[in-house]
Amino acid sequence: MTIKAKLNELETRKAKALAMGGPEKLSRRRAEGNLNARERIDKLLDAGTYVESGLFATSHLPEAREKTPADGKIAGFGKIEGRPVALVSNDMTVMGASSSVVNGKKIRHMREVATRSGMPLVFLGESTGARMPDRMGAQGRAILGQDPAEYQRMRQSPWVSALLGSCYGSSTWYACMSDFVVMRKGAQMAVASSRVTSMAINQPVDAEELGGWKLHSETTGLVDVVVDSDEKAIETIKRYLSYLPSHNNEAAPVHDVPAGADEAGKRILDIVPADGSKVYDVRKVVEAIADPGSVFELKARFGKSLSTSLIRLNGRTVGVLANNPMFKGGAIDVDACNKATSFLVFCDSFNIPIVFLVDQPGFLIGLEGERRAAPSKIINWMNALSLVTVPKISVIMRKSYGQAYLNMGGGRNSDEVICWPTADLGFMAPEVSVNVLFGVKKEEDPARYEELLQQVTRDTSAWNLAALYETQDVIDPSDTRSCLISMLDVHRKRMGSEVGRHLLSNWPTSY
Amino acid sequence: MADTDVVSEVTGSVWKILVAVGDSVEADTPVVLIESMKMEIPVLAPDAGVVTKILVAVGDPVSEGQAVVALGT
């Protein structure tokens, strides 16, 4: 064979692989309004930067080779906003992007290279699960589990997953191992499909109920952001990565600060009522403090009494945990605990400083919380907080009661505690403690109640905390942004090039 | 379409009712204020709709997950 013939064969094979599952399946997807696996890659990466790995890979079974271009999971490298990434894009038109011996090797290679070379790894998820009949019987067992580190996550570089269709098996597992998950409405994530589940439990199962966006954004909290289209999901991945370093051995990128960034922060007093009985949406405070347009909220519909977001302050990435009195009065429930721990672990793993904005009446106590192991969630959070090695600043805006005072960075649980003059510190509201300590209710014995109330009321002010040097400053709320910028600069880990010790890097990626 | 229940996220007592039957509300509009943990905590409409029923009165105890208002379309 001449070299020309060889080159012709190369082109023919390439064209066949790039044709994926064939025109009919591709046009069906287009009609449904979904991008195909290669269009998704094109939208994700900077033009002309894509390099594929394994274009000519196919099923290891000779009889399946012809119908398995790229073996259903397309893998490669490229750049997003100029920074290198590795990716896997699942091709549903090729055997439902099912997991096989060969495409498992492709994913493993992407994982290893992303870790070794310090680049984010992106999974564009849509998959049916294990490939059948390859996985049937004892022989099928023997092709599984050949990589003992397959499900190990040490967070050397960020992992991102998009759920863009039916996600069972591999796409689900990688989403749960990722640092960030974006889901397109209409996609599902579950252990097994509604058809398989329905057969297993012998009753009808609705796919949306089994693994739709509402379940994962509101109940499980496994999804960080929900979007309406593939395109929006891809934009969201790019935006998320813009806050992160490429790997855990460098600081996050610094962005330009938009003009007028200090303006909104001066209006904080219009947002937060001085009267502690009045609620407000803390996300407006986060917006006012952050560089304009830089707030990226995570898990907005889950554990809503605590808002978590990535923001930029003076161009630098910061992770903010803010109690939100708008929901449950800011009382911290089990979902909020899991959300907090997950966020602390994530921020610490990627050298992102942490800010607490505190206004909370305590943990939400009750039967539901106890049934869901609330004490363990509270202590997991504290353990994580004690292992964080990135800078931590706590701003007590209004009330900080109970044990949760510590979880929100009180005492030496942050590098610096700042109070607003409206700060209100104590173990519980004195009115409640009269009942707890003495069993006296106001309506039953008003005179005795008033007497006991005077007896238990203590000075709960910021001034008292400041006198004891438990808060290092009391500031005008409208100076919060400038104060945080100064304090985060003071506490930058200069000795270690702003890289923390990552003591939490092997903590779970899902809670 | 069946009415949507607007439920309280917290246990407490009804402090104020902010809507009347027939009112149109947008998503996230506060419909009732619950007094709990010494705060006035709003119950927010999950979706836009028209108030068809008020299910509680001022001063009533309310438990977590209890419907306070029904919304129709």
Q: Encode pLDDT of B15-45 as tens digits.
A: 999 999 999 999 989 999 998 877 888 999 9
Any idea which of A235-249, A377-391, A445-459 has the lowest mean pLDDT? A445-459
What is the SS3 assignment for A123? Answer: strand
B4-72 classified as CATH 3.90.1580.10: no
In a domain, residue A501? The reply is no
Option in A361, A368, A432 nearest B39 (CB): A361
Does residue A510 form part of some domain? no
Distance CA(A420)–CA(A449), nearest Å, equals: 31
The model's pTM is: 0.94
ipTM exceeds 0.95, yes or no: no
Q: Is the pLDDT of residue B69 over 90?
A: yes
Supply the pLDDT for residue B60: 95
Kindly state whether residues A146 and A194 are assigned to the same domain: yes
Residues from chain A contacting residue B40 (CB–CB below 8 Å): 277-279
pLDDT digits (tens, 9 = 90+) for A328-356: 999 999 999 999 999 999 999 999 999 99
Looking at the fold, whether A205 and A299 belong to one and the same domain comes out as no
Q: Are residues A230 and A280 in the same domain?
A: no
Task: Name the minimum distance, in Å, from the CA of A294 to any CA of chain B.
Answer: 23
- Is the confidence at residue B1, as pLDDT, over 80? no
Same domain, A396 and A434: no
d(CA A120, CA A159): 6
Cβ proximity of A207 and A163 under 8 Å = no
Residue A255 maps to a domain: no
Q: How far is CA A156 from CA A25, A331, B40, B62, in A?
A: 38, 34, 45, 48
- Let me know whether A148 and A181 are in one domain: yes
Same domain membership, residue A194 and residue A237: yes
Average pLDDT (A188-201) is 92
In this structure, are A219 and A271 located in the same domain?
Answer: no
Residue A505 lies in a domain: no
For chain A, how many structural domains are there in total? 3
Distance CA A268, CA A357 (A): 13
Closest CA to A236 of A181, A186, A283, A188: A181
Q: Do B11 and A366 touch (CB under 8 A)?
A: yes
Is residue A475 assigned to a domain? yes
When the pLDDT of each residue in chain A is averaged and rounded to a whole number, the result is 95
Does residue A355 lie within any of the structural domains?
yes
Does residue A142 contact residue A180 with C-beta atoms inside 8 Å? no
Domain boundaries, chain B: 4-72
pLDDT surpasses 80 at A429: no
pLDDT at A109 (0 to 100): 98
Do A172 and A125 sit in the same domain of this protein?
Answer: yes
B20 part of contact set with chain A, CB < 8 Å: no
Residues A16, A134: one domain? yes
pLDDT for the residue B31: 95
User: Which of A279, A362, A366 shows the shortest C-beta gap to B41?
Assistant: A279
What is the rounded average pLDDT of the residues A409-418?
Answer: 97
3-class SS string, A297-354: EECCCCCCCEEEEEEEECCEEEEEEEECCCCHHHCECHHHHHHHHHHHHHHHHCCCCE
Q: Are residues A442 and A393 in the same domain?
A: no
Predicted local distance difference test score (pLDDT) of residue A450: 92
Domain assignment present for residue A224? The answer is yes
Does residue A144 contact residue A106 with C-beta atoms inside 8 Å?
no
Write the Ramachandran bin of A51: left for phi over 0, alpha for psi from -120 to 50, otherwise beta.
beta
- Grade residue A209 by pLDDT with cuts at 50, 70 and 90: very high
What are the C-alpha distances in Å from A228 to residues A80, A220, A223, A234?
22, 19, 14, 11
For residue B51, list its beta bridge partners.
B71
Q: Do B39 and A366 touch (CB under 8 A)?
A: no
Domain of residue A46, CATH code: 3.90.226.10
Tens digits of residue pLDDT in A121-150: 999 999 999 998 888 899 888 888 888 999
Question: In which domain, by residue range, is A209 found?
Answer: 3-242
Separation CA A195–CA A197 (nearest Å): 5
- Residue ending a domain, among A242, A272, A292, is A242
Q: From the CA of A355, how many Å to the nearest CA of chain B?
A: 25
CB atoms inside a 10 Å sphere around CB A304: 19
> Which phi and psi angles does A462 have, rounded to 5°?
-60, -30
**Pair (A315, A355) in one structural domain:** yes
Look at residue A349 in the predicted model and tell me its pLDDT: 98
pLDDT at residue A430 greater than cutoff 90: no
pLDDT at residue A177 above 80?
Answer: yes
Q: Return the residue of B nearest to A359 by Cα.
A: B39
- Does residue A276 belong to any structural domain of this protein? yes
For residues A219 and A269, state if they share a domain: no
Whether A67 has its CB under 8 Å from any CB of chain B: the answer is no
Q: In the structure encoding, which two tokens stand for residue B34, read together?
A: 């619950």
Number of neighbours of residue A208 by Cβ within 10 angstroms: 15
Asked if A329 lies within 8 A of B36 by C-beta distance, the reply is: yes
Any chain B CB within 8 A of the CB of A361? yes
Phi, psi for residue A492 in degrees, rounded to 5? -60, 140
